[in-house]
Chains A and B, each alone.
Chain A
Amino acid sequence: MSLFGRGAPTPSGAVNQERIEMAINEIDMVSDVFNRIVSSCHSKCISPRYAEGDLNKGESVCIDRCVAKFFEVNKKVGEKMQSAGANA
């Protein structure tokens, strides 16, 4: 999972075209991961019937664990694919 601080922006505009591309791709990836997490953990952890807007403790714990597991798996899969891409 890379963070935004990777490609440091420089003042000049034209040279950074690739960096802008990279940044756009990164934003796309991160928001894609985020959307997946939201939909997947919501469907798993939050029951469709509820009476109040606040999360209760069970749902909170479930969401914590769901997000943690998702990130772990995402990282592992990314590493595997990188090594597979490097080898093949």
Chain B
Amino acid sequence: MDKPKSGIRAALEYTGIPQSWLSARPRLPSRNWLIFIALTSSVLSYYTYDRHQARKIRASYIDRVKHFSEEPMKSSELPRKVTVYGAKWPGDEDHQRATRFFKKYVKPILVAAAIDYDIVATRQLGDLTRHVASSVVNQRRNALGIDRPPASPINLPNKLSEEQQRTRELEGGIILVGRHTLKEYMAGLERGWSGGLEKVDREEHLAQELAADGTFDEVEEGKSPVGVVHDPEAEPIPTSSRLPPSRNTALLPPLVLSKSPSIPDATSEPLVVDSPPSTLPPQPPLLLVPFTNHIGFRYIPHMIWSFFNERDRVRAGAESAYALVMGQTRDFRGPDSLHSDDTLLQEARKSTESSTASGVQDSVQGGDLDFMLWSEKLIKPHSPLSSISDARKSYYSTLPSRLATARQLARGEREMTKEEEKNPPASEVELRAERLAKESKWRAQEEGWNIVRPGTGVRWAEMFRGVLKVFKTPEEDGGSTEAGGV
């Protein structure tokens, strides 16, 4: 052993390294060290492998679509533009989870393909439904001629006509991230197209409804103050005449502002045809992006697993984006289609056993309406209804005393105490405004939850049939078991 190594030995001999190190027998570290090194290196290397694979997958999809961005474009042309909807996942305080999923996994491929995107912000449960419904109502009103969009005095050369805008929308597409977004979107479409044509000012309606409650009435001597939402039976005189005039000032602004600039012609709103059309005008194609959000202690193992397996989400997001870029569409499969896009559900249907999918079985609708139906069980434990009712109870129990304080101070019946001077209590107008804000938030959340909760299916109307389209991956054949549009 001395002879062959003498070269290295001789070279290192004079470097100052102790001879015992050079002549020592190589040994493995101790058993404990070996365990530690094995565990740490396996975890680290799995993480590294996963991220490396994720980068490779993303790069491969980007390379496949890069050529679209290298086509020349005149400055008078406009790029293709898609609208992105990512609704709030119930139970998650962070309302941007779905939007961030889009930004991290779908957006890079869209950017590489030079497709512009427009993310519509929705903060609360049900916001997307209301947004879609109101935009559909506006669209219907414009089409029927009730509202004319105001002609701007400046004639911009690149301003598109309505038809061109419509064409641009149709070429673009709509991205829905997650099943909850699909539910909200379809509910909004249904509400918009089958509802009436009048513009609903939710704030004003709610304000009127709240004012009709007895909550802000004067407290009768000897009678318990009303703290609940129903009308008090003991109120002998109609409430409207007893309320002080200051009440109306809180309501007037919403009343005044909601009146649109009056159209001088005689068509009043109920006169116009209210009936929903039998079929919708052509709609832009939808892209259904699979997205799940694990919330809660019981899903911590799932969170850890998905932390170490980001490549699955990268692949799913990139596949969806690729389908959108390629632009091949198929019809949206309605409820009576035999082909359900949820693989788990197909197996459950084939077998007569319904033990594992008992809750889910009830809400099977068939076709694309079952997109990611299995993910509903992740939403199930996150109902906001109990927290809303608790908040309501506590608010209405403290409200009468605060109202009494406000009225006493306003009428000069007593002076403010030291603490009250430091933190002035809310006046009656502020209390009304606060109640309006809280009630509107609670009702919005309840309405949104009822749209999104497991058990209610995706809203569907016959007028959607044949009009809605879904992006599909170019390799997908007719009998594929992948989720639609992915």
Contacts and interface: CB of A to CB of B under 8 A. Distances in A.
A61 B116 contact: yes
B23 interface: no
A58 B79 CA distance: 9
Interface string B54-97: 00000000000000111111110101000000000000000000
Interface string A53-72: 01111111100110000000
A58 B69 contact: yes
Interface residues of A, number: 11
B70 A60 contact: no
Contact of A54 (B69, B74, B79, B115): B74
Interface residues of B, number: 15
Nearest to A64: B116
Interface in B111-127: 111-112, 114-116
B79 A61 contact: yes
B114 A58 contact: yes
A57 B72 CA distance: 6
A61 B75 contact: no
Contacts of B77: 60
A21 interface: no
A55 B74 CA distance: 7
Quick one: which of A52, A56, A61, A64 has the most chain B CB within 10 A? Answer: A61
B79 A64 contact: yes
A57 B69 contact: yes
Nearest to B74: A54
Contacts of A54: 72-74
Contacts of A52: 72
A57 B114 contact: yes
Contacts of A60: 73, 75, 77, 79, 114
A65 B116 contact: yes
Contacts of A56: 69-73, 114
B70 A58 contact: yes
A54 B73 CA distance: 7
Contacts of A64: 79, 116
B357 to A, nearest CB: 44
B78 to A, nearest CB: 9
Nearest to B115: A61
Interface in A6-64: 52, 54-61, 64
Contacts of B75: 55, 60
B120 to A, nearest CB: 15
B460 to A, nearest CB: 35
A58 B68 CA distance: 8
A20 to B, nearest CB: 24
Quick one: which of B73, B79, B111 has the most chain A CB within 10 A? Answer: B73
B67 to A, nearest CB: 10
A58 B395 CA distance: 53
B152 to A, nearest CB: 13
A61 B78 CA distance: 9
A29 B79 CA distance: 30
Contacts of B69: 56-59, 61
A55 B72 CA distance: 6
A59 B112 CA distance: 10
Contact of B68 (A55, A57, A59): A57
A57 B79 contact: yes
Contacts of A65: 116
Contacts of A61: 69, 79, 111, 114-116
A77 B310 CA distance: 37
A13 B180 CA distance: 65
Contacts of B114: 56-58, 60-61
Contacts of B73: 54-57, 60
Contacts of A58: 69-70, 111-112, 114
A72 B310 CA distance: 33
Contacts of A55: 72-73, 75
Nearest to B68: A57
Contacts of B112: 58
A80 B77 CA distance: 35
Nearest to B66: A58
A64 B68 CA distance: 17
Interface in B145-178: none
Closest 7 CB pairs of A and B: A58-B69, A57-B114, A54-B72, A58-B114, A57-B73, A61-B114, A60-B73
9 contacts: A54-B73, A54-B74, A55-B72, A57-B72, A57-B79, A60-B73, A60-B114, A64-B79, A65-B116
Given A57-B69, A64-B79, 17 more contacts: A54-B73, A54-B74, A55-B72, A55-B73, A56-B71, A56-B114, A57-B68, A57-B71, A57-B72, A57-B79, A58-B112, A60-B75, A60-B77, A60-B114, A61-B69, A61-B79, A61-B115
